[in-house]
Amino acid sequence: MKIFIRIILLLFLIMILNVDFLALSQESETGSIQGLVQDIKKNPAVKVIDTTTNTYVTTIPLLL
């Protein structure tokens, strides 16, 4: 139950602040899906591709 509450609070904070305070924007090493997969293997964080700038946002893994 505590984990569920933490997730809800985190999502609420992100919606309120409207900023990715846990995110680091960086370009993929090869600029392709394969490069993205390799980067995920190196850094097991959740990555979301931003198609407008051809970059992806790396969110720091949450310690729940």
In a domain, 45, yes or no: yes
In a domain, 11, yes or no: no
Q: What is the pLDDT of residues 27-55, one digit of tens each?
A: 544 555 555 566 656 655 555 555 555 55
In a domain, 13, yes or no: no
Give the chain's mean pLDDT. Answer: 57
pLDDT of residue 3: 80
Average pLDDT rounded to a whole number, residues 16-25? 46
pTM above 0.85, yes or no: no
Where in the sequence is the domain holding 25, given as residue range(s)?
Answer: 20-64
In a domain, 25, yes or no: yes
The structural domain count of the chain equals 1
In a domain, 4, yes or no: no
For 33-47, b/e burial (b = at least 16 CB within 10 A) is eeebeebeeeeebeb
Closest CA to 48 of 14, 17, 16, 3: 14
In a domain, 34, yes or no: yes
Average pLDDT rounded to a whole number, residues 13-35? 51
In a domain, 28, yes or no: yes
